[in-house]
């Protein structure tokens, strides 16, 4: 159990460091004003139009770093700062979220796989670890048998969340690549602005990588606990 807490503590520390670095990067590149004077909203609308997408709405959402694309109602949701500001960070985020809209329009397979998992993960992710622990406790109290299979069911539930985390990686990296390619090919940003946008998106992607590693480490630990109890 001590090793588990050390592992989780290490992952939590790395996640905190990456998150803090991401915030610093966005703060830094928020000071790099776009030469074209376009806001995040305008950047998003142009990228959508350049890809022939006219049924997606760009809207403002409250909060910081709350930007996302919603495939259900086809909206690019930009945080207030990104929606209104005219800098390299805003351009990067706006283009990235539109990258997801382009994926949706082109039926990008990894996005479709992730979308298919959303209903399952939304139900199982919050309870999976408790099901595993409950199974282990039941097995300790009543002996092997039912408790073991309850714990295995919890592992399967946890596995869906881990799979979701790893499927998210190509989705996010591809959206960033689409965004950066468009920003560069359409001369939407200067070289300095492009470097800032690229750096910001790289750090954003690393937060998903850390999350995926954490999910896998958690699954492996509990798998050893459950399956090891059968020896």
Is the pTM higher than 0.85? The answer reads: yes
Q: Are the beta carbons of 81 and 64 closer than 8 angstroms?
A: yes
Residue 229 makes CB contacts below 8 A (sequence gap 6+) with: 136, 139, 144, 148
Tens of pLDDT, residue by residue, the chain (231 residues) = 677 678 778 888 988 999 899 889 989 998 999 999 999 999 999 999 999 999 999 999 998 889 999 999 999 999 999 999 999 999 999 999 999 999 999 999 999 999 999 999 998 888 998 999 898 888 766 555 778 889 999 999 999 999 999 999 999 999 999 999 999 999 999 999 999 999 999 999 999 999 999 999 889 888 988 887 555
Contact indicator for 95, 179 with CB cutoff of 8 Å: yes
Q: Which residues of 22-34 are buried (b: 16+ CB within 10 A; e: fewer)?
A: beebbeebbebeb
| Tokens 């399952």 -> residue | 120
> What are the Cα distances from residue 95, in Å, to 75, 78, 118, 119, 201?
13, 10, 23, 27, 10
């Amino acid at each position: 159990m001590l090793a588990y807490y050390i592992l989780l503590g290490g992952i939590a520390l790395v996640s905190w460091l990456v998150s803090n670095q991401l915030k610093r990067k966005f703060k830094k590149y928020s000071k790099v004003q776009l030469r074209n004077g376009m806001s995040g909203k305008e950047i998003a609308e142009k990228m959508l139009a350049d890809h022939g997408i006219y049924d997606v709405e760009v809207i403002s959402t409250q909060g910081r770093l709350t930007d996302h694309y919603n495939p259900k109602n086809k909206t690019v949701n930009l945080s207030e700062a990104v929606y209104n500001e005219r800098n390299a960070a805003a351009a990067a985020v706006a283009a990235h979220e539109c990258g997801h809209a382009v994926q949706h329009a082109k039926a990008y397979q990894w996005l479709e796989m992730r979308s298919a998992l959303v209903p399952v993960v939304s139900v199982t992710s919050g309870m999976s670890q408790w099901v595993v622990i409950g199974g282990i406790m039941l097995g300790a109290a009543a002996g092997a048998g039912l408790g073991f299979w309850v714990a295995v069911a919890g592992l399967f539930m946890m596995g869906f969340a881990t799979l979701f985390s790893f499927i998210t990686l190509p989705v996010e990296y591809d959206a960033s690549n689409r965004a950066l390619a468009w920003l560069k090919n359409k001369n939407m940003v200067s070289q300095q602005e492009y470097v800032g946008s690229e750096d910001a998106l790289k750090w954003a992607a690393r937060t998903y990588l850390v999350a995926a590693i954490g999910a896998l480490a958690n699954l492996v630990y509990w798998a050893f606990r459950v399956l090891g109890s059968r020896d």
